[in-house]
Structures are given as C-alpha cells and as structure tokens.
Structure 1
Amino acid sequence: MTGAALFIILCLSLCLLPQKSLAQEQLQIESDTVYFTSNRKKITIPFKLVHNLIVIPARINNSNTLNFILDSGVKNTLITRLDFSDSLDLHAANKINLQGLGEGHVIEAYYSEGNNLFMEGIQGDEQAVYVLMEDVFNLSTRMGMPVHGIIGYSIFKNFIVKVNYSSKTLTLYRPDYKIRKKRRAEEYAITIEDTKPYLHGTIRQQNGDTVKVKLIVDTGASHSLSLYLPTDERLALPPKVMEAYLGRGLSGDINGKIGRIEAFRLGKYELENLTVSYPDDAAVKHAIHIADRNGNLGSDILTRFTVIFDYPHNRMLLQPNGKFKDPFQYNMAGFDVSTPLPGTNFYMIANVVENSPAMREGLKVGDQLLLINGRDCKEMKLQELLELLDGKPGRKLRLKLKRDEETFDVNFVLQSRI
C-alpha cells in the first residue's frame, strides 16, 4: 500500500448518472472503436504508478499529450482538468449534469461524441468524452504531476490488457491473441456488467465469519478493499476501526471507517490482515443497489500481481509478484500530502487526521515539508516521500516544516490505530 495519502487520494469507481434523458440515450451508444494502427499483435506502453494508480499518456483530437488514470471502474473518458495551453476541439458538446459517489450535489459537464483518441500505435474513433466544469478531484495536486482525466472501458473492451505493476508496463493485445497462462497464474471468471468487471471472492472477518462478496475490480481505487455494509447483513465492522476521510467521488467527499479483516481469498490465493474501508451509507447510496455488488477490489491488492484483464473472454488472470506477501499498511502518520505546483517537488500538508500523531504534534494544513529524516524533500519524488511516510508501527519520523516564515521541527512515532 503506497503512501500516507492512500485513502485520501480518491475513489474512482464512478457511478456516472446523467440527469437528462438525452444523455442517458447517448450513453448506450456502443459504436466507438479502438484499434492498432499497424498489424502488430501487441503494444507495450510504460506507465507511471503513484498512489497505486496507473497513469498513461494519450491525446484527444488535436490536444497535446494528456495524462490519464487508467480506471477499470469508469465507463466513459472523463476530462477532469485542462490547462490554458490545452485544446481538445470537442465535437458537438452538450451541457449535462452528472452524479456519482460522494456526499454532495450534481456537477455540470460537457458531453461530446465523435472524438478521436490517440496513443502510441493506437487510435480510437467515435469516442464519447465528458469534460467536467469543475476540477472536483484535484488529481494533479494529489498525484504530484499533471493529470488531466480518467479513461477506462474504451481500452479494456477492445484489447486484452496486461498490467505488470513490477515493471510498470501496460501491454495491449489484440482480442484474438492467445495468452499463455504462466505456472503460478490463476484464472478467474469475471462478468462485465454495465461496462464494469466483477468477480467473486471470500472475506474472513474478525469475528470468524466468512462471507462471499461480489466486487468491482477497480484499478482506479488505491485501497485494498471497500465493503458496503448495507448490501449484506452478514458484513460487520471490525471491533477496532477509525473514522476516516476515504477519498473523493464525483459528487463529493467519501467518509467512513477503516478497519482490518482476517483474510481475503481469491481462488488459491489468500491475503491476510487486510485494511478495509467502509464508506458511510450516504456516500454510496447511488451505488449499493447496482449489480448486487458488495464493494470493490482496489489496486493495493492488484499491485501484488501481474494482472491480465481479458474482457473478450470474460476472465482475469493473476500472477503473484514480489509484493505479494508485503503487509497491508495505511496512513499511520496521520497527515496527507499534496503538491500545489504539480510536477515540482514542493510538498504541503493537505489534511490532518483527528487523534493522529500528526495532530498531537500540532501539524496544520498548509505546512510545507522541508526535510524528512534528514532528506531534502526538494530532491524527492512524491512516491519516494510517501514510502518514507508509509512505514511500520514504531518507525520514527523527524520532520522539518515551514509555516508562514517560521521553520520548526517535529518528531513522532508511527502508531497503528486499527
């Protein structure tokens, strides 16, 4: 699990709910196509991995190269932010309202059909694109780099998609490509419902109960598991939980609780002592009755495997990598980091958790991080910084911070609260 800001980053398992019937009709159009521009059987694309999230480059129409989070939980391409220098030249854009996860209101967006998508060796025709009128996710400041949007189903439905989290490479194969199953890999049946992939697994709770759960496989969620308590009366909170800000949905903040379960099993593979988020009912009220799902399986589990999404054959393959046995950590420092100048190594405190070590030491939102354990933060990428903050209980942190024009030192020990 990467980063002290693991749960604050966002929850991208979006439930896009247009508020106009015209938009609902448009969403059902499936004429878009994404294809190789040559006779190659596969194309490999390097990606960046921050907060367990995959970031890939792409262009829309005549735009510059934009950065997109690859999210198996979203249906349509979503532009969340554009800079003054970016130009999309969208085709026939109509203004609509959208609603999704979160405790908030609907937001305005432009919906456009008939656009072109370009990636290295790949082109997409007749692409539907949403452009948000408000940057509700603040992805760039959370990711430490310019992030312009989210892309998902148009990639997964047209290719067999292999995600190698160890090498940080995305390999796209033609739908008829014969994937050779590696010795340690296991195959799982998935169903594609309303463009989203679902599978079944089994959780073992702290009270000893085992419950079979239906989960979205969500590359756009940075956590391990999220469970929706109202969907099954057998689902129960662990005896030790903490209140938490879990992330950001399309319609607002997602609050809830974080605890641990004894295990999660997928076929022959079992992961133990997992951190699990339990969103408040109000935050997921638009999602709990969709497809009889009980929650989602996020990237803190997926990053422990090489993952092959094979939508054309309704299956997914998992092969454990070197991270498989790593412990599941969470934000024990009690503060989250943002980069107000994305692309620079300038880090500030974005959130301080109640009753955490950071709050007890007086950290405040807006404090600038200067040094961590003697290392200059200006010389650290965001992922490096997060790995220092995300340690085991008992690890000591020595911070130098700046507030207004004053610098000060803070020392504390990471403590587990669940």
Structure 2
Amino acid sequence: MRNFINLLAILVFILPLCALEFTLPDGADEVEIPVDVVSGIMIARAKVNGTELRFIIDSGASRSTIFNLNGVDSLNVGQGRETTIRGYGSLEPFKAIESSQNLIQIGELKSENATINVLTESQISFLPILGTEVNGIIGIEFFKNHLVELDFRRERILTYKDESALRLSRYEKIKLEKVSEKLYINAQVKNDSSAMPTRLLLDTGSGDALWLFEKDEQFKMPVKGFRDYLGFGMSGDVYGFRSKVDTLEIGEFTFDKITFAYPELDRENFQSSDLNRGSIGGEVLRRFEVVIDYDDEFLYLRQTRAFKDGFYYNMAGLKLREGKEELVTDVKYNYDPDKATEVRSMKKIEIGQTKTFFYRYAKKIIVSYVAPDSPADLNGIKEGDQVVGLFNKDLGEFSMGEVTYLFYRDPGSVVKLKMKRGKEYYKVRLKLKPIIE
C-alpha cells in the first residue's frame, strides 16, 4: 500500500503547542530501551500515534523530525504549521509540517502533546549510508528532564528519574555547556606540535569520532589524508577531508591518532552557535559507559575495554546495506531408531529418516560500494554481491552493526566472508589494511 501522511484536524487552542518532553511511567525510577547500534549510532523503535517507526537518537538535532516513510503504510499526525528544515549539506531547505498534539512512545517513555517535524514533499533515505532504514531522528528533547545512560556494548539506553540508581562516583565528571538547547564540551586538539582549544558539540547522531568545523590559523592540519563522502545531512550530501590528528583531550582522557573529518560547509547559511569548533560522535562515545545529565549540564564517562581500540577508517573497502528479507528453507533430518524401517536392495541399505522443513525470513545484506584497490576490490567483490556468511557462520547470527564493526578493528586481521553473486557462491579472506596509520 502506498504510504501517506494524514494530518488530523485538532483544536489547537485547547492545548498549547508543546515540544517533545518524555516522562517515565508513574512510580518508575528507570526505563530500559533496546536499540540497534549501527556504525556508532543508536537506533530505537518508537510509536508515533500508534505507528511503529525507527529513529536515530540524536543529541545534535534541535528538533525531532520524520523524513522517511519507506515501508510504512500510513501515519496519522496532528495538524500544524508549514516550516522549513535545513542542515549540513548542499540542498535547498526542505518543506515540512511542524505537527503538534502527537503521542510518541519509546519503550515505556512517553511524550504526550508532542511536536514533531514531518517532511511533506521529500523523502530522505539513510539506507545507503547506514545500511539500514530509519524513519527519522529524535532530537535533544529526548535527554531533558532525566538522566540518560548510553550502553553501546549491550545495545541499550537507560533513563533514570534521578542519580540515586547510578554510582556516578565511578565516572569522570565533565562540565557541559548548553548553547541553543544543545550540549557542548570543551576539549583540546593537538597535531604536529600545535594545539587548539575547541568547543565540541556532543552529537550522538554522528558515528564518526571527531569533526572540526573551524581551526585556528596557527593550528597545523595533517598533510596526509583524502577527500571523502562524509555522509548525508538534512540538506544533502556532505563531503570533506578525512585524516588523523595526533591527540584529542577531553577531561582526563586522551585519544591518540584519532580519525577526524573537516567537512566542506557553506558557513554563511549556518548560525554562529551551530558553527562552534566541531563535534564528537559515536566512535568516541562507544568507548565509555556514558551518562548525560542534560538539566545540570554534566557528562559522566567511565572507560570500557573498547577505550584502547585504535581509530581506523574502513579497512576492508566494503560498504554494506540491508536488502529486502528473503524466505529461506532449513531442513532438519531426524533419525528415530524405534520408528526406523530398513529397506534392502541389491545396491544399498537405507535406514528410514524423517525430514522437517523450517521456513524463515532471513536478512539480506548487499554490497553497496567497493573502494578501488581495497582488500575487497582485490578479492573480486563487486557492487550488488550479497554477503551470506561470516566466519563460517550464518549471517543471521550477526547484526548489521556487528558485521560492519569488523571492518574498523584490528589492522592485519582477516575477515572471512561467504558471498553470493547471482546463483553462484564464493568465499573471500579480507586482510584488513589501514588507509592511514
């Protein structure tokens, strides 16, 4: 069925216009929300007026927005006013409806009379970027009025009524700064004997480690690097320079040889408050147990085993995306000696068996891009090929995040893939090779 948005007529003068404000259930001290972690980004399932959608939890976004209804039959949203949305990228602003009087539920969290932007004339698909479809973003409003813990390892978010259930004395406490409702953190970037104090946006909607929007004249940018497609912003494709800097210092933590991007932005179209120095994203945050106290403006970090992971770009040269699920048949052979019958002939002896057929829908992961001269390219992988197995295991045992995670870890290690092209199967061994040491 063709998807559509139905703007419900609601008497807006009865209830005032209200942004999202999530509350815990009465009597609850904490709520756990399962998420999918893909490329360092947390994706949660939410219901908007009863329709289930998938949202990126994005602390870098001022407002929550629905920008894609692929696979959604219909969505009822409250009536609102016309507006425009703009973000990083090269496209013109999008037309949208600022819709009020909506009910949004994320797990047991609830926001009643919520306001959310809905694109009306365009659809944005993050499928080519993340490899999985999302319908929108839940912005900074998600973090207000309670403490939020981001648990990347267990793929979950926990929200707390107050800090009594948390042992925050075990965490490094870092002061945040609130600017235009968003959260910023003071840091220092060093490279080639030069240092630059910087204020960085805390951006859970970015999977990268570090973006720098501005730099001091005396700061020495790295020479070795490459121009790359950085991603898709709310206003189109974003390109820029990728490389590594010597160190990033945040509080008591130092990150060595950290990957960073310097996006090509039309700075005249952005307010100065949005163009501070840059941002930190999921590739930094995933190395910690993270607690965000929005109201009191504090960030709590406790390092995990992932803290010592190196920072690397995709060392396989392989980008993946989810395809449509396909129906597969599993066959199980059963032998019951009490019920078996023996069939004899001149040529063979057969012991009676029974077969059980199991039908299931399996994920389909497709190659969306192969970098020239990369390990994937040199092993003959082509765009459009299908990944069907990983380390001699069925792909169904792994999430998309777990598969792509392997391409960014342990340089020199080997990733074993079983591939399919048309009706033919083949296997490859990809030895991961860093783009920049």
TM-score scaled by length of structure 1: 0.82
The code of the aligned residue for 2:366 comes to: M
Deviation string for 1:156-180 (max 9, x for gaps)?
A: 1222212222333322223x55575
| Counterparts of 1:31 and 1:376, CA distance in 2 | 44
Give the drift of 1:73: 0.7
Larger radius of gyration: 2
Correspondence for 1:107 among 69, 87, 94:
94
Which amino acid letter does the alignment assign opposite residue 192 of structure 1? K
Letter in 1 for 2:147: I
Give the AA of the match of 1:389: F
Aligned to 1:42: 30
Q: Kindly tell me: are residues 288 and 323 of structure 1, through their superposed partners in 2, closer, same or farther at Cα, counting changes over 3 Å? A: farther
Please give the alpha-carbon distance, in whole angstroms, between the structure 2 residues aligned to 1:263 and 1:308.
23
CA distance in 2, matches of 1:326, 1:77: 32
* Cα distance in 2 for residues equivalent to 1:178 and 1:236: 45
Report whether the alignment pairs 1:269 with 2:253. yes
For 1:19, the equivalent position in structure 2 comes to none
If each structure's strand is expressed as a fraction of its own residues, which one has the higher value?
A: 2
Q: Equivalents in 2 of 1:122, 1:375: separation in Å?
A: 37
1:185 matches 2:171: yes
Distance 1:391 1:31 in 2: 40
Matches of 1:324 and 1:117, distance apart in 2: 34
Q: How many residues align?
A: 384
Report the CA distance between 1:272 and its aligned residue.
Answer: 1.4
> What is the CA distance between 1:338 and its match in structure 2?
0.5
Specify whether residues 192 and 354 from structure 1 end up closer, same or farther in structure 2 by C-alpha distance, changes over 3 A only: farther
SS of residue in 2 equivalent to 1:37: coil
> In the alignment, what sits opposite 1:259?
243
**265-274 or 144-153, which moves further after superposition?**
144-153
Q: Secondary structure at the match of 1:135?
A: coil
CA distance in 2, matches of 1:43, 1:37: 8
Which whole-Å CA distance do the structure 2 matches of 1:417 and 1:127 have between them? 45
Candidates 214, 221, 238, aligned match of 1:237: 221
Give the drift of 1:101.
Answer: 0.6
Deviates more, 1:293-302 or 1:123-132: 123-132
Q: Secondary structure at the match of 1:48?
A: strand
1:312 aligns with 2:320: no
Report 1 or 2 for greater relative contact order, CA contacts < 8 Å, sequence distance ≥ 6: 1
Post-superposition shift, 1:80? Answer: 2.5
Alignment of 1:341-352 (within 5 A): 341=324, 344-352=362-370
> Which residue identity lines up with residue 368 of structure 1 in the other structure?
Q
User: What TM-score, normalized by structure 2, do the two folds share?
Assistant: 0.79
| Mean CA deviation greater in 106-115 or 268-277 | 106-115
Q: Which runs of 4+ in 1 moved over 6 A?
A: none
CA distance in 1, matches of 2:20, 2:322: 36
Inter-partner Cα distance in structure 2 for 1:362 and 1:235: 42
For 2:112, the aligned partner's letter is D
Structure 1 residues 129 and 411, CA, compared in 2 at 3 Å: closer, same or farther?
same
1:372 and 1:199, CA in 2 relative to 1: closer, same or farther beyond 3 A? same
Residue aligned with 1:123, SS: strand
Distance 1:325 1:347, change over 3 A: same
Structure 1 residue runs without a partner (length 5+): 1-28
User: Residue deviations 1:363-389, cap 9 Å, x none?
Assistant: 443222344554444554323322333
Structure 1 residue 249 and structure 2 residue 233: aligned?
yes
- Structure 2 segments unaligned to the other structure (5+ residues): 1-16, 326-360
Identify the match of residue 109 of structure 2 among 104, 107, 122: 122
2:194 is aligned with what amino acid? D
Distance 1:272 1:108, change over 3 A: same
Q: 2:313 aligns with which of 314, 325, 330?
A: 330
1:60 aligns to 2:80 (yes or no): no
Do 1:38 and 1:121's aligned partners in 2 also have CA atoms closer than 8 Å?
no
Provide the C-alpha distance between the structure 1 equivalents of 2:80 and 2:312, rounded to a whole number of angstroms.
43
Q: Please show how residues 199-218 of structure 1 align to structure 2 within 5 Å.
A: 199-205=185-191, 207-218=192-203
Contact 2:212/2:277 (<8 A) preserved: yes
Q: Tell me which residue corresponds to 2:68.
A: 81
Residue 366 of structure 1 aligns with an amino acid whose one-letter code is G
Q: Secondary structure at the match of 1:118?
A: strand
